[in-house]
Each structure stands twice: as C-alpha cells, then as structure tokens.
Structure 1
C-alpha cells in the first residue's frame, strides 16, 4: 500500500468536499432570499420594491439559525470525550488485573509515541462481542480510544495494534473536531427547515396563517440544504476513513494488522455476526465499521471490501474468528 499517496488523495478529496459544503451554505442563502423575494411579490398587491434591508435581514436571520445551530451542537462537546464513552457503556481499561487490557494499554502507549501525541485514555466496551472501536474527544487532553471486548478476544496483537492505529489517526488528524463541526452545520441547516415547518403549522381550527406561504418556501429550501449537508458530511467521513486506514498502515508499518481486522469483520458479517446494533447511535459514525446507514449516499463509512482492497491492492477473502494473518517483513510491498 502506498500509504503516503493514499493520505494525500484523501486529504485533497476532503478539501474539495469542504469547499462544496461552503458552496451549499452560499446556495442556501441565495435560495432563501429568492424564495422570500418571490413570496413578497405574490403577497404584495401593486408590488413596486422590496422593504429596506430586505435581503440583508433575510441573510442575517438565515446565518443566525445556521451558525447558532452549529454553536449549540458543538459547544456541548468540549471536555466530553470520556463522558460520551461512558454514556455508551465503556469503562476504563483495567491493566493491573486483565492481561488483554494490559496489552491494549501497552499498544496505546506505543502508538502515542509513533503518532507524536499524548496517550489517550484506553477504554473497553465490555458487553460488546463484535470487533469494533471508536475514538472521541475534542483535543488531546480529552481523547479516548475505546475498543470492544470482542476485539480484545478475537484479534492478535498485530491486529489490535492496527485497529488502535486507525483510531489514533482520527485523533491525530482532528477528525473528531471536523465531524462535530460538520454535524453542527448540518444541525443548523436542519433548523432552517424546522423554522419553515413551524411557519406552516395550522391553528386550532385547521387554518393556515399568512406565514404559511413564506414558510413553505423556507421549508423547501431548508430541506434541500439539509439533505445536501448530510450527503456532503457523509462523503467527508468516508474520506477520513480512507485516510485513517492509510495512516494505520504508516504507524504500524504493516498492512496485515488493520487488514486482518477488516477481514475478520468481513467474516463476521458473512456469518451474520457483524457489528452489533446495540452500539449507541451517538458513536455509530465514529466506529471502525458502521453498517447503520444502508444508503450509499448517507453511509459514513466506505464499503468494507473497498477498504480491504485499498490496503492490499487487490481483493482479499474474509477471515474466520480464529484465523490469523502472519505479518511478513515485506508486508507493505
């Protein structure tokens, strides 16, 4: 795997998608102003001109909702990495009493040196039998890497190292902050839709108010902006997964580490024992493997087979639970 080339390609694609996200916001502002301008013409007999600051006020209110939603969504996340992990059922690793968790803590310490970051808090999801993991936290002081009990029990040390290295990439590259900011922007776009919907509500007698017509226009433009935002956010997330895969190969100098993990997950899925739906929705988009979103446009993760193909340069078969991948000295080539 040419991991540096893969990383640059993923970063370039992320930048293009972020530019599209900005263009989506600009298009929303133009669409809201156009919809309200048309509504004003329809509702105003003998139309001659728009009121003073008509477009400025429309733009300011739209930005207030979008940026306000972004602030509300992201401000509550500072200092919440460990809190979020505990909310979804994770606990701190117990290296003194459990050999597998001692191995996890050792790997976390080793990879922190390789990634040149402060070691995150190692945590375990004790009641989850599938192979999975997630990283969360706003900054290095708040960072957490949580792995499932199934990963501790079913992976070799090299594979566990590859899994943790993938999560370290998300921390090193600031993917948690990026995802939360994009989630905030999507939430802000959704607030525009909700504003329009509230304006279209009927009274106790089932009658619409005069706000219904502009409300419908705002709801229509807001729904298009919200949908575009969700699609772009998912596309950015998929590119960051490709980047994290490439960084994991770089950190571990082995494609069979993470590659073995993904092949075992593919084996679980083939046996209908894939990532469990019990994992909390709040961390679904952060997981190593997420199968919650079936629609390819809204999927936060690339197809598993494609991720494996990119790591190895060719399609690879799935692995059963007890299969092992021997890490070769030429594993990168």
Structure 2
C-alpha cells in the first residue's frame, strides 16, 4: 500500500490539473472556440448556483466519445474535463446535466475519495503490475528471461489485483448512483442527464456501423472517475452501473436510445433502454 502511494505521489499531489493532463486534457480555450466558451459559461453558472469556487474547465481534444470526469483534492485545485465529442454532440440542457453530475462529485467530496482510492488501489495492484511488466513482449514478440519470475510475481500479486479492482468498482458504482440522484435534485430536471445517458447508449448501439472513436490512453487513476465506463467488464469489476439501470432509476421506466449525432442512426431506433 505504501509503495503504491509512493508511486502515485507525483501525480496525485499535483491535484486535479496534473491528473487531467496525464489523461490527455488541456485547459479550455473560450476565446478561440464557441463550444468551449459555452462549456466555461455553464461551469460558472453551476458554480454560482452551488455556491462553489468554479473548477478549471478542461477539454480532452483527442476523445470523440461522450464522457466527462472531475478530479481534485478540494475546490482550489478542482477540475472538470469534457471530451471534444461531448461538446459537439450535446445540445440544449444536456451539457448542464453532464456538468451538474460532475459538480455533485466535487461538492460531496467524491473526487477526494477517488484520489485517495487511486493511491490505495495502486498499492494493492503494485506487485501484479510489476510481474505484468516483466512478462511484456518486446517489439519482436519475444520475452526476456525476466518473464519466468514475472509470471510467478503476477500469480503472487493476483489477489491484490482482484481486491483492488473489486474495491474500486464497488465504491465507484454507489457514488455514481448517488451523483445521478443529486444531479436531478440540483438541476430540477431529469432530461439533461438522461439525455446524455441515452446518447451514450445510442453511441454504443451504432458503434458497429462506424469506426471506433479516437480514444487516448487515459491514466488508470481516472477510469473510475468517468461519467460512463468505456469498458464492459464483469459485474464485480464494473466501475459503473449499467446504463439501462441508471436511466430507469432516474426516469422510472425504460427510454429509447438517442443518436449521438444528428446524421447518425442507431441500430434499433425504436429500442427501449
């Protein structure tokens, strides 16, 4: 555990902005882009409504999927990061619902919990990760003599890996449900956040009909901080609840998916989600 904290200290001690830059984000440029100006305006409006110091608005320029995350130890170094795809696809009150979800994480201390959890999980997974690196093949596809002890180290550290992933996923799932509920209370509207989740569902439904999005190599520490998870792991290791369940909890019933872009049709436009 202490070793994991030591490895993560250069990232975590830098606060939300350092972690966001590790994930490929940059500060928003409101003077140069209209959509980023709208992002900054919404951030300041929500900060006034929540009586909070406005977090730094950041953009993931190489990510064209709908998502977002918040990070930071406190209000002084808090950030909200939104992919370029979300700025282009969301309309009307959907960006407000998206950002209100992240504001609720900041206001209730979820980001501080996530930052601490990131170091804790890194410590639990450190032995497994060491063995994994020792077993990696080079560019020619061959492994070095370190692979033999590496497999043994991976086996030794597998329990820590399982415990770390399960712990991180369990905490993250519950905080997402709570944040969804707080978002509806905060904005007094179900449509904003549910519209975002329905578009994410439509994005996934149409994924087989178009090339995959440009997804950067996000730092592992932010995987459980995202609005929605891009992966589809087993139930025990899922960092986010299923989209269908989140939508039903907010709306009380299944809802049809929405196309992420106006010129894009989902596979089953009449499917309930």
Identify if the C-alpha distance between structure 1 residues 225 and 132 changes in structure 2 by more than 3 Å, giving closer, same or farther: closer
Pairs within 5 Å for 1:96-107: 96-107=31-42
The separation in 2 between residues aligned to 1:85 and 1:319, in whole angstroms, is: 29
* Partner SS state of residue 124, structure 1: strand
Structure possessing the higher radius of gyration over alpha carbons: 1
**Residue 196 of structure 1: CA displacement?**
11
The number of residues matched between the two structures is 241
The separation in 2 between residues aligned to 1:127 and 1:75, in whole angstroms, is: 24
Give yes or no for contact 1:74–1:181 (8 Å, CA) kept in 2: no
The separation in 1 between residues aligned to 2:64 and 2:19, in whole angstroms, is: 20
The separation in 2 between residues aligned to 1:225 and 1:86, in whole angstroms, is: 28
Give yes or no for contact 2:63–2:213 (8 Å, CA) kept in 1: yes
- What is the aligned partner in structure 2 of residue 285 from structure 1? 224
TM-score, structure 2 as length reference? 0.77
Q: 1:236 aligned to 2:171? A: yes
The separation in 2 between residues aligned to 1:77 and 1:160, in whole angstroms, is: 27
TM-score, structure 1 as length reference? 0.64
Give yes or no for contact 2:70–2:81 (8 Å, CA) kept in 1: yes
The separation in 1 between residues aligned to 2:211 and 2:168, in whole angstroms, is: 24
**Residue 74 of structure 1: CA displacement?**
4.5
**Residue 277 of structure 1: CA displacement?**
6.4
**Residue 322 of structure 1: CA displacement?**
3.1
**Residue 97 of structure 1: CA displacement?**
3.1
Identify if the C-alpha distance between structure 1 residues 123 and 191 changes in structure 2 by more than 3 Å, giving closer, same or farther: closer
Unaligned runs of 5+ in 1: 1-65, 198-203, 209-215, 324-333
Q: 1:142 aligned to 2:77? A: yes
The separation in 1 between residues aligned to 2:211 and 2:235, in whole angstroms, is: 18
User: Aligned-pair RMSD on alpha carbons?
Assistant: 2.9
The separation in 2 between residues aligned to 1:85 and 1:189, in whole angstroms, is: 23
Deviations 1:277-304, CA, capped at 9 Å, x for gaps = 6133313322211122422211111111
Give yes or no for contact 1:130–1:274 (8 Å, CA) kept in 2: no
